[in-house]
A and B are shown apart, each in its own frame.
Chain A
Amino acid sequence: MKFTFASKSFGTQTILAPLTLTLEKGTVTALMGPSGSGKTTLLKMIAGLDQDDAQTLKKPLKIGMMFQEPRLLPWKTVRENIEVAGPVDSLLKALDLDDASAFYPRQLSLGMAKRVAFARAIASEPELLLLDEPFTSLDDARVDLMRTMISETKNRLNIPVLITTHDRADTEALQADIYALEGRPAKIRKLIDA
């Protein structure tokens, strides 16, 4: 899966230089870089939620996306929030959420809400999974659980997974190819092949 974009600017400031990113099926790719380097912007451009300066709008695939904030629908229960994307099936149990299935988002901790957001992202059985800092606000046990789920989903569906993270431990655990966004405007550079 190859994504090519022109530069991306906000007002007069160019955030991203023109770039090409290739994602392989059945692999995890990690996007690293300092805050504000354009990681989330790039994810949104890949998801078709944002355009580059050449007005390229991509949404070629069925995408599952976990945003930095959970972005759950506050008027739906945990189960209903996941059902927005697809069947819940065994996801509640797998993510240790079965006791909270009838809860509303206001009744969840941030960590639980992030797990629900992750469940929603994979419930649609996507062709590409985009995860924007999926491990923040999670305790160690939940981080392990999520890493396992990401690997399991990637293998089961044979899809590429693109995550943004600041933590090398995540990339090691997921055996991810690592790309870095560096400079201003940020250029993409491959750091490590898994």
Chain B
Amino acid sequence: MLRSPLLPLLSTIALILLWAVLAYSLQSRYLPTPFDVASAFETEFTSGALFFHLGATCLRVLGAFCLALLFGTALGLALGRSPKANLVFDPWLIFALNLPALVVIVFCYLWLGLTETAAIIAVALNKIPNTAVTMREGARALDPSLDEVAAIYGYKGWNKFIHFTLPQLEPFLAAAIRNGLALIWKIVLVVELIGRNNGVGFQINFFFAQFDLARIMVYTLSFMVIVGLIEAFIIKPWETRARFWRGDA
């Protein structure tokens, strides 16, 4: 009987084997072999280009992620706690949710120029509505009976937020962070492709023009590994700790 932690590893190995079999049997320029990709990885790694472009993308992801989380959480909590504010601003939120990411990016570049600020704001603006919707649900799920406990023992403001509100919001925050990370890094690639001269998106566009699929895969897979590591070593442990008291960790 296979132990369950081994299954994801075996599944990944099976996927790589399937890719290798397909690539070697097709011998097509449209599907590089694992060896081609490994060789391209070595070149990009030793030249330092891989780190430079991954670093640029990571910084943009981090900036946009922090902005989106901060403003999305604040907006979501305000809407979730105030039915009147929700009534007024819900149509705005629906409009923002349905606004194509590309349109937001183009407008930001047109208004703010082809700058780093414009790139980060464009990504954050795309993510803020999603975060706000998730956190609005979190705010609606807050237990009002615990507000009374907080009032009795004199918990107000930041102290109340840390001891009473935040633990109740953690599952929603975890969902917002996980979905945010998945969405933001994809939008960052588009932003880089359109208006930056470095980063993974820029490199993918560059190698697309050269029809170099191996290098496109190097940059894509490298960034996916980084996102996977963040998920495995930061988000998952935090979520496990946050859920421990529920008994479902």
Contact = CB atoms under 8 A, between A and B. Distances in A.
A105 B247 CA distance: 11
B148 A67 contact: yes
Contacts of B99: none
Most buried by B among A64, A67, A75: A75
Interface residues of A, number: 22
B153 A75 contact: no
A104 B167 CA distance: 14
Nearest to A44: B148
A65 B247 contact: no
B3 interface: no
B145 A47 contact: no
Interface in A44-92: 44, 47-49, 63-65, 67, 69, 71, 73-76, 84-85
A71 B247 contact: no
B31 to A, nearest CB: 49
A124 B153 contact: yes
B245 interface: yes
Given A73-B146, A73-B167, A84-B163, A49 B246 contact: no
A71 B146 CA distance: 7
A69 to B, nearest CB: 7
Interface residues of B, number: 15
Given A63-B152, A65-B152, A124-B153, A74 B145 contact: no
A74 B243 CA distance: 10
Contact of B167 (A67, A75, A105, A120): A75
Given A73-B146, A73-B164, A73-B167, A106 B246 contact: yes
Contacts of A67: 145, 148-149
Nearest to B164: A73
Interface in B122-181: 145-146, 148-149, 151-153, 155, 163-164, 167
A120 B152 CA distance: 11
Interface in A79-120: 84-85, 104-107, 120
A93 B167 CA distance: 28
A71 B143 CA distance: 10
Contacts of A63: 152
A67 B246 CA distance: 22
A105 B229 CA distance: 33
Given A49-B148, A67-B145, A71-B145, A106 B153 contact: no
A171 B146 CA distance: 29
B245 A74 contact: yes
Interface string A114-144: 0000001000100000000000000000000
A47 B163 CA distance: 21
A124 B149 CA distance: 13
Nearest to B152: A65
B153 A84 contact: yes
Contacts of A120: 153
B246 A74 contact: yes
B152 to A, nearest CB: 5
A85 B245 contact: no
A37 B146 CA distance: 24
Contacts of B245: 74-76, 104-106
Contacts of B145: 67, 69, 71
A135 B167 CA distance: 29
Contacts of A74: 245-246
A46 to B, nearest CB: 11
Given A105-B245, A106-B247, 20 more contacts: A44-B148, A47-B152, A49-B152, A64-B152, A67-B148, A69-B145, A71-B145, A71-B148, A71-B149, A73-B146, A74-B245, A84-B149, A84-B163, A85-B153, A104-B244, A104-B245, A104-B247, A106-B245, A107-B247, A120-B153
Interface of B: 145-146, 148-149, 151-153, 155, 163-164, 167, 244-247
13 contacts: A47-B152, A63-B152, A67-B148, A67-B149, A69-B145, A71-B146, A71-B149, A74-B246, A75-B167, A76-B245, A104-B245, A104-B247, A120-B153
